Amino acid sequence: MPTERSALAIVLAAGEGTRMKSDRPKALHEVAGRSMLANVLSSALKAGVGRVAVIVGPERDDVGAEARRCIPDAQMFVQNERRGTAHAVLAARAAIAEGCDDLIVLFADTPLLTAPTIGAMRAAIAEGAAVAVLGFEAYNPFGYGRLLRDAAGRLVAIREEKDASEEERAVTLCNGGLMAIDGAHALRLIEKIDNKNAKGEFYLTDIVELARADGRDAKVVIADESEVLGVNDRIQLSQAEAVAQARLRRAAMAGGATMIAPETVFLSADTQIGRDVTIEPHVVIGPGVTIADGAVIHSFSHLEGASVGKGATIGPFARLRPGAALAEKAKVGNFVEIKNATVARGAKVNHLTYIGDADIGANANIGAGTITCNYDGFLKYRTTIGENAFIGSNSSLVAPVTIGQGAYVGSGSVITKDVAPNSLAVARGRQTEKAGWAASFRVAQAAKKAKR
């Protein structure tokens, strides 16, 4: 497809999602760690779409904010009445009137659409079609609009289920709802659509017959049925999630990662995984995670907003929260939580530890049970641990505090002041011992018990 062609995508996102049984609008429900709207917009951008208009419902600033988070210059248009898809598209009449080569109509609740499929629809327009409709062969066509073709295989009409004859209902080639329209004629054709049908709505699908009556051609672009899966309730949301996860797992493994039990690993749409990475069973990776070559993620770990360096080891049962940044060959072991902290090359945080708002130097060793006390109930403070420092088990580091390079902190210490490089800091009560105390205590307690 020529890259010089301009494209406008109109994304229909006004649905409230009543069947979702949710206070959130349907477009903001998530698939693979990001909103369905964000998934659709991402595919549009990857397909080379230069302008985006989003149709939202009244007082749906939250949907508009999500669209602009993804595409800052996206245009917003409000659909005040629900009178069909053509009526919704015309809410963006001003954007259409600005002109484009390819007008793409997308749905915010169809989150599995891929950029190559959008590209295929655009290519059909570039080759001379007035309309390119996305179709699929349905296992069960009930409820879908049917794509009707002539003997030569040309698309002649899209017939909605309620308006279809028995013969037309037997057709299994169905309408995916998405289409591309020649931008030079789009507005004129859409404005011709009427509502003379069983539901009294303005169907965008009628544009096919209008284009044919205008002497223009209409084409069908075939996609897999899973790609046009629409989400209207929580069950369909879970189905979309399953498809998205299967795609992400395949892509990761094709890129050189090993997943021992891929069906138990959950990724996000933006997860970046390098070569020779091993991910053990039951790992959840949220948004914003990068895993470099050769890293190992052991079972039952949860990562979000974190970067894992080359050859680093995580888990099992580890949690990396947003802002966690592990350098090459760093190690975070079992039952360790890292938040907004850097762990330098070769540093070890092996078990039962919380590291928050901290910087850990290269080759430092953090003993079991260590806590960086970073919050005083009002503000958060940072802990700095130098290279080759050794923090004994069960220590509490009360921020703001700096442990110098090569310093030792004795086990069980509560450190409230900076520790100089290569020093030993011990902050705990002095041990005392009373000989024979335990035997006397037991005798006294036995006597008390006998008197009861």
Active-site residue list: 351
The Cα 58–Cα 321 span in angstroms is 36
Q: Which amino acid is at 50?
A: G
State the virtual CA torsion across 52, 53, 59, 63 in degrees, nearest 10.
-30
Cα 421 versus chain centre, distance: 43
Other beta carbons within 10 Å of 184 = 13
Strands 102-107 and 146-149 come out as unpaired
Enclosing H/E stretch for 373: strand 371-373
Query: Which of 339, 411, 405 has the alpha carbon at shortest distance from 368?
Result: 411
Cis peptide before 421 (omega within 30 of 0): no
* Whether the Cβ atoms of residue 325 and residue 306 lie closer than 8 Å to each other: yes
Round the CA-based radius of gyration of the chain to a whole number and report it.
Answer: 30
Other beta carbons within 10 Å of 290 = 17
Residues β-bridged to residue 403: 385, 419
Angle between helices 61-70 and 36-46 (to 10 degrees): 40
The Cα 397–Cα 375 span in angstroms is 11
DSSP character for 191?
Answer: H
